[in-house]
């Protein structure tokens, strides 16, 4: 094996090591959330394995990617799904082991290792290209740690391709060329090793994660005292909840407790819109504006000033309510700024400019009364918590811990699927 091939193998090993590092950090970020608690992310091009505080900036891209349906598969079967980064870990680990083997034995130029190193690079780069295009087109953000994986894949692919090309002349000039049968055997062994390496982390993962059913359905038969912090909460009746409705007509009923200016509500609304099962639900929105204008007997200060005004607008929107809610969430930052700055006239003008039909209705006394009526008929009898968002499916409250990464799994369990 020539020096140049050695150099490319070292480069490939570096790319594989980097890829293994980034994919392990991504996996750790995912698995850390398996305790159903809030955690920071290691969102950096130089990530560590420690937990970064949620208050540290720059984590949004990785959080968005993690919570999106594109970070894992089988989400309806396993809480949080199986992270794709496990496959990446296995693939990069295999490429690293192959590089180390090629370097240590000096046989990296042989057809089998060179081919599988190239295959590893191609697989990693193809997956990176797919995930990068999803980031750009669907998530509209780039996860920095993922970018590190993309970069590693590129290094691995380039180094593996160059090693393959230089190895070809090495093979031609070899004094004792490898026999055809040996090459075939080598190819077969490496194919098995590559398969084992790539899928082993997934198999270990699946054998280690517990059944989360008892955690996500504390009202269910299997739930016991050890089923975490979430307690069973059932609705006595959904009557009075749906002043505003939406979703799939005729689908299973879901009641979503929302505040139009709550960022977590926007995030859950978006995730439900992306969720396979979430799209099948018929929604009743229970408006709980955490604004003293609407909740003066319970709140001294408004958590989301202006959300009472927006809730009234939603009531006035009638058949356009869901469209209006999506518009509010799309413009959440701007509307929140208006609210915090007490610029309620500006907020009202924005709503009316987009939905002129609600202009006269917003300030009618009946409009606010409908919010209070809904609280009296649904919120108070059902002892609804003063927090948003909340989701009730089949009359059972979804644990707040399951409203992000575990959403699809929890929906499937609460729907009895």
| Positions in the binding site for other proteins (CB under 8 A) | 24, 27-28, 31-37, 86, 89-90, 93-94, 96-97, 100-101, 104-105, 107, 182, 189, 193, 196-197, 200-201, 204-205, 208-210, 215, 226, 228-231, 288, 295-298, 365-366, 368-369, 372-373, 375-377, 379-380, 383-387, 400-401
**Residue 379 DSSP symbol:** I
Least distance CB 298 / other proteins (angstroms): 7
Other beta carbons within 10 angstroms of residue 369's beta carbon come to 12
Least distance CB 205 / other proteins (angstroms): 6
Please say which residue, 232 or 340, places its beta carbon nearer to other proteins.
232
Least distance CB 222 / other proteins (angstroms): 14
For 240, left (φ over 0), alpha (ψ -120 to 50), or beta? Answer: left
| Count of positions (residues) in the chain | 417
Distance CA 164, CA 166 (A): 6
Please say which residue, 36 or 350, places its beta carbon nearer to other proteins.
36
Written in H, E and C, the secondary structure of 255-271 is EEEECCCCHHHHHHHHH
Please say which residue, 281 or 362, places its beta carbon nearer to other proteins.
362
Looking at the DSSP bridge assignments, the partners of residue 396 are: 234, 393
Cα 222 from chain centroid (whole Å): 27
Distance CA 75, CA 409 (A): 6
Least distance CB 170 / other proteins (angstroms): 15
Cα 381 from chain centroid (whole Å): 34
Dihedral (CA of 7, 9, 11, 13) sign: negative
Least distance CB 190 / other proteins (angstroms): 9
Please tell me whether the peptide bond between 389 and the residue prior to it is cis, using omega within 30 degrees of 0: yes
For the record, the structure tokens of 399 come out as: 């644990």
Contact yes or no for 328/335 (Cβ under 8 A): yes
Distance CA 63, CA 76 (A): 20
Local structure of 96: helix, strand or coil: helix
Distance CA 160, CA 164 (A): 6
Please say which residue, 80 or 247, places its beta carbon nearer to other proteins.
80
Please say which residue, 201 or 247, places its beta carbon nearer to other proteins.
201
Please say which residue, 45 or 231, places its beta carbon nearer to other proteins.
231
DSSP E strand stretches across 122-238: none
Least distance CB 93 / other proteins (angstroms): 5
Least distance CB 40 / other proteins (angstroms): 14
Least distance CB 130 / other proteins (angstroms): 23
**Distance in Å from the first CA to the final CA of the chain:** 57
Least distance CB 138 / other proteins (angstroms): 27
Please say which residue, 183 or 326, places its beta carbon nearer to other proteins.
183
Please say which residue, 218 or 246, places its beta carbon nearer to other proteins.
218
Please say which residue, 227 or 281, places its beta carbon nearer to other proteins.
227
Least distance CB 292 / other proteins (angstroms): 11
Cα 139 from chain centroid (whole Å): 10
DSSP letters, 158-173, are HHHHHHHHHHHHHHHT
Q: How many Å is the maximal CA-CA distance in the chain?
A: 95
For the record, the structure tokens of 180 come out as: 């055809």
Please say which residue, 31 or 280, places its beta carbon nearer to other proteins.
31
């Amino acid at each position: 094996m020539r020096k140049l091939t050695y150099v490319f193998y070292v480069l490939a090993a570096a790319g594989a090591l980097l890829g293994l590092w980034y994919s392990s950090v991504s996996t750790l970020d995912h698995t850390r959330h398996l305790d159903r608690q809030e955690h920071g992310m290691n969102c950096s091009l130089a990530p560590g394995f420690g937990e970064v505080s949620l208050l540290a900036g720059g984590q949004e891209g990785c959080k968005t990617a993690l919570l999106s349906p594109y970070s894992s598969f089988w989400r309806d079967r396993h809480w949080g799904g199986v992270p794709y980064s496990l496959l990446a870990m296995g693939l990069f680990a295999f490429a690293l082991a192959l590089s180390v083997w090629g370097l240590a034995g000096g046989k990296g130029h042989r057809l089998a290792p060179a081919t599988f190193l190239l295959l590893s690079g191609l697989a990693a780069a193809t997956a990176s290209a797919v995930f990068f295009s999803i980031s750009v087109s669907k998530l509209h953000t780039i996860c920095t740690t993922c970018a590190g994986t993309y970069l590693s894949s590129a290094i691995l692919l380039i180094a593996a391709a160059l090693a393959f090309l230089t190895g070809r002349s090495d093979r031609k000039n070899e004094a004792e060329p490898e026999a055809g049968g040996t090459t075939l055997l080598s190819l077969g062994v490496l194919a098995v090793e590559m398969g084992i390496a790539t899928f082993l982390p997934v198999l270990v993962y699946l054998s280690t994660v517990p059944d989360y059913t008892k955690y996500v359905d504390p009202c269910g038969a299997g739930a016991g005292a050890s089923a975490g912090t979430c307690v069973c909460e059932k609705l006595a009746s959904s009557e009075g909840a749906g002043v505003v409705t939406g979703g799939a007509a005729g689908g299973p009923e879901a009641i979503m407790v929302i505040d139009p200016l709550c960022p977590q509500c926007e995030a859950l609304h978006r995730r439900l819109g992306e969720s396979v099962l979430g799209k099948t639900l018929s929604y009743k929105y229970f408006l709980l504006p955490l604004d003293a204008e609407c909740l003066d007997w319970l709140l001294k200060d408004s958590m989301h000033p202006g959300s009472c005004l927006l809730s009234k607008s939603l009531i006035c929107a009638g058949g356009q309510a869901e469209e209006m809610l999506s518009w509010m969430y799309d413009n959440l930052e701007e509307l929140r700024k208006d609210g915090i700055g007490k610029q309620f006239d500006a907020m009202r003008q924005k709503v009316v400019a987009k939905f002129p039909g609600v202009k006269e209705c917003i300030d009618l006394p009946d409009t606010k009364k409908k919010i209070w009526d809904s609280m009296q008929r649904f919120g108070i009898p059902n002892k609804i918590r003063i927090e948003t968002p909340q989701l009730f499916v089949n009359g059972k409250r979804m644990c707040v811990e399951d409203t992000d990464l575990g959403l699809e799994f929890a929906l499937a369990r609460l729907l009895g699927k």
